[in-house]
Amino acid sequence: MSTKVAVVSGSNKGIGLAIVRALCKQFKGDVYLTSRDVGRGEEAVKALNSEGLKPKFHQLDINDLNSIKTAAAYFKEKYGGVDILINNAGIAFKASDPTPFGVQAEVILKTNFLATRDMSTHFLPLVRAGGRVVNVSSMIGASGLKQCSPELQQRFRSEDITEDELVVLMQRFVSEAKKGEHIQRGWPDMAYAVSKIGVTVLSMIHARRLSKERPNDGVLVNACCPGWVRTDIAAPGAPKSPDEGAITPVYLALLPPGAVEPNGKYVSDKEVQPW
């Protein structure tokens, strides 16, 4: 039987690093810590080595299509596929950052939504039968959804929204944010929230698509919120440690063989949440 393999994006620090730590302890297979910066990635591998854990490493910058394609080709060649994919890499601006809102919107949507989508485009075809895909979203996306216009909420909750329509909506948000028109067009005033709405809806679309195209493969795709976690993205007063933030993503990644749910859901504290 081929060696099983798990890949975690953005795992040189924060929740991603904690996910790799937990998978090294709980997953029977190779676990890849990935980082856009090789130096930071190797330092993180060393830190886990000092805890007696043995993650492997591959460079992965989700904003760089060549990096995504190189990594995907590597996993295809070396393992013949991927068993666990955790799209964790993400960014946010500090509340005090003076960067204009339209620029923040473009930069945040590029990494959190478009690059996560690029990862899915190149890695989903590699996910083997029984595979688990976890997209790290946020409760801020769930609360942002409630602030969208009724028309946008209807689309983001609909079962027939396509990936193309979602991409167009996300691009529309950026262009309206740049013109300062996003609020009057029915969007929340938070680019991070919109990016995470995109991540959650994308997960739901991919789950529906895989269930239709590969009905016998039992691949489960879910979005989750790790909770409010003390990392460089969040304030130091956040209640959860990174290891606690890793619990729900790792739970979804290790849903037992034969499980049929949750699939295409938004999950927090190991519970499916309303969307």
Closest contact distance (angstroms) between CB of 184 and ligand NDP is: 27
Closest contact distance (angstroms) between CB of 240 and ligand NDP is: 7
Taking the least distance from each CB to ligand NDP, the nearer of 120 and 231 is 231
Taking the least distance from each CB to ligand NDP, the nearer of 93 and 101 is 93
Closest contact distance (angstroms) between CB of 214 and ligand NDP is: 26
Closest contact distance (angstroms) between CB of 113 and ligand NDP is: 11
Tell me the sheet residues that pair with 84. 6, 132
Taking the least distance from each CB to ligand NDP, the nearer of 34 and 263 is 34
Distance of CA 130 to the CA centre of its chain: 19
Burial zone of 53 (CB within 10 Å; 0-12 exposed, 13-18 middle, 19+ buried)? middle
Taking the least distance from each CB to ligand NDP, the nearer of 83 and 118 is 118
Residues, the chain, total?
A: 275
- Which tokens hold the place of 21? 């730590």
Tell me if 127 sits within 8 A of 81, measured CB to CB: yes
Please tell me the distance from the alpha carbon of residue 76 to that of residue 150, in angstroms, as a whole number: 43
- Which tokens hold the place of 214? 């590969």
Please tell me the distance from the alpha carbon of residue 197 to that of residue 193, in angstroms, as a whole number: 6
- 32, 79, 192, 251: the catalytic one is 192
Is 74 considered catalytic here?
no
Backbone angles phi, psi at 46, to 5 degrees: -60, -40
Please tell me the distance from the alpha carbon of residue 33 to that of residue 51, in angstroms, as a whole number: 15
Binding stretches for ligand NDP (CB under 6 A): 9-10, 12-16, 35-37, 40, 60-63, 88-91, 111, 115, 136, 138, 225-226, 228-229, 231-234, 238
Q: Which residues are catalytic?
A: 192
